[in-house]
């Protein structure tokens, strides 16, 4: 990250998401989870490089600093997901998010596609903003919008 640019504060983020439609809030969660997966993968690659290829302590310390920075960014991303959850619940909606894909990897479960969405052949999850649970096939075909 550039020294001149800073991410918006959690308070500013919470304020900014107040006007977003519910599907956009859920899309933002998916985007953040995807970014976190990339950070975790990057850290794994950096650790492998440190263990297998680093020649100097200076180089190792520099790379470990990058790993720490990535971990700090991941923590702030989790905070943003919590802010998104709070916003959804403050609107009187039930928070629906599948298990954290990183947690599923650790537990050996493979039901997600890495972005927190259910993989094909498991179960259907409806967008909570799409209305009640009644399924009317003709009505569903007429619906426009984003389905997450």
In this predicted structure, what is the pLDDT of residue 4?
73
Sign of the four-CA dihedral 82, 87, 90, 95: negative
- Each residue's pLDDT expressed in tens, for the chain with a length of 148 residues: 556 778 899 999 999 999 999 999 999 999 999 999 999 999 999 999 999 998 899 999 999 999 999 999 999 999 999 999 999 999 999 998 765 555 544 444 443 444 443 333 333 333 444 444 443 444 444 445 544 4
Cα(95)–Cα(121) distance, rounded to whole angstroms?
23
Please state, in angstroms and rounded to a whole number, the distance separating the CA atoms of residues 2 and 25. 27
Instruction: State the pLDDT at residue 29.
Output: 96
The single residue listed with the structure tokens 């943003």 is 80
Q: How many CB atoms lie within 10 A of CB 91?
A: 11
Confidence at residue 114, expressed as pLDDT on a 0 to 100 scale: 43
pLDDT of residue 131: 42
> Residue 110 has what pLDDT?
41
Q: Are 25 and 84 in contact (CB under 8 A)?
A: yes
């Amino acid at each position: 990250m550039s020294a001149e640019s800073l991410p918006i504060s959690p308070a500013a983020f919470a304020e900014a998401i107040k006007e977003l439609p519910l599907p956009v809030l859920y899309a933002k969660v998916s985007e953040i989870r995807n970014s976190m997966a990339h950070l975790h993968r990057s850290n794994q690659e950096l650790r492998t490089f440190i263990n297998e290829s680093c020649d100097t302590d200076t180089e190792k310390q520099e790379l470990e600093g990058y790993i720490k920075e990535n971990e700090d960014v991941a923590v702030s991303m989790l905070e943003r997901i919590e802010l998104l959850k709070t916003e959804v619940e403050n609107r009187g909606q039930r928070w629906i998010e599948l298990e954290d894909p990183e947690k599923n990897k650790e537990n050996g479960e493979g039901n997600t596609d890495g972005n927190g969405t259910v993989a094909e052949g498991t179960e259907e999850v409806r967008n909570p903003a799409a209305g009640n649970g009644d399924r009317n096939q003709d009505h569903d075909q007429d619906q426009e919008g984003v389905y997450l």
